[in-house]
Amino acid sequence: MAKQPKAKTATLKYLRVHPVTNVCFSAIFIFLALLCFMPALLVLIVSLSSESSVLSKGYSYFPAEWSLASYKYLLQQSGYIGRAFMNSIGITVIGTLIGLIMCSTMGYSISRSNYRLKGFFTWFIFIPMLFSGGLVASYVINTQILGLKNTYWSLILPMCCSSFYVIIMRTFFQTTVPDAIIESAKIDGARQVRIFLQIVLPISLPSIATIGLFYTFAYWNDWMLAKYYLNTNAQEKFPLQYVLITLENNIQFLTRNSQFLGTDAAADLPSETVRMAMVMVAVIPIACSYPFFQKYFISGLTIGAVKG
């Protein structure tokens, strides 16, 4: 059996982790993971607790009584919430795809040293990162010029292109995609579109997956655009987050003013537990999307590069 070189043996010696150190680091990471998981578990338990248990014991991991009243209340609103849920899914998927297409293509264009308008578009993208026209100017352009008022596009287009993400993609293309690959493809007769789709994108999957995850979070959790661009005549276009906020405000209004309204409708309303049920309804879909992106994190790291 051939002996390993001394330099390699010394390197392996320094890279080796002592079993005690390994156990300590594992315990630390498990503890940190529990710190992140326990609040989510508390939200789930409270959403499954009875309203009387929450009022008597507060938020507890061991409620006095279990109940599905909060989820039954949301189920009664299934028509309203269900449509908003589908709206959020469509807005998130379409917005993320459009955002990735715009950021990746623009980032790749300005990353090429032989692109004549590279400097102009780099400054054109960089300036909005320092200051923007403001909310009023954006609202006027989107409603008066583009006519996006009360449309699904008003919930997609204002967020679909981010200067920050374009700069990230440009930097990634410049530092990760070797020029030798691009030049070899040009010599073989490949055009820029084919080079971008078949060579650049597979190498860039880690950055694309990361930005795609950020876009997914942003679109799924957004409700401000609905508040700005949708009025009560466009309720069928409301996203899930805006609907949940509206329901919570209505519950608070009924709970605080039931004595003035002369009704007992809010007496049995699970105002505390339904808030946690709303959180679970909003969080579970976006949490389920993370493994999809994680797969591309791992696969993108193993895709080829230039061999010397």
Give the ranges where the chain is alpha helix by DSSP (H).
Answer: 6-15, 19-47, 51-57, 69-76, 78-111, 118-130, 135-140, 163-176, 179-187, 192-195, 201-203, 205-221, 224-229, 240-261, 271-301
**Mean residue pLDDT across the chain:** 81
What crossing angle do the helices spanning 240-261 and 271-301 adopt, rounded to 10°? 170
CA dist 100 and 117 (Å) reads 21
Q: What is the pTM of this model?
A: 0.79
Q: Would you say residue 177 has pLDDT above 70?
A: yes
CA dist 59 and 199 (Å) reads 53
Q: Give the pLDDT score at 92.
A: 93
pLDDT in tens, 38-84: 888 888 898 888 888 887 888 888 888 888 888 888 888 778 888 88
Q: Would you say residue 305 has pLDDT above 50?
A: no
CA atoms within 13 A on the CB side of 105: 11
C-alpha dist (Å) from residue 55 to 17, 50, 58, 141, 259: 50, 9, 6, 48, 19
pLDDT in tens, 199-214: 888 888 888 888 888 8
Domains of the chain: 38-67 (no CATH), 68-301 (1.10.3720.10)
If you average pLDDT over residues 173-185, what whole number do you get? Answer: 83
Q: Give the pLDDT score at 31.
A: 92
Least confident of 11-25, 76-90, 190-204, 219-233: 11-25
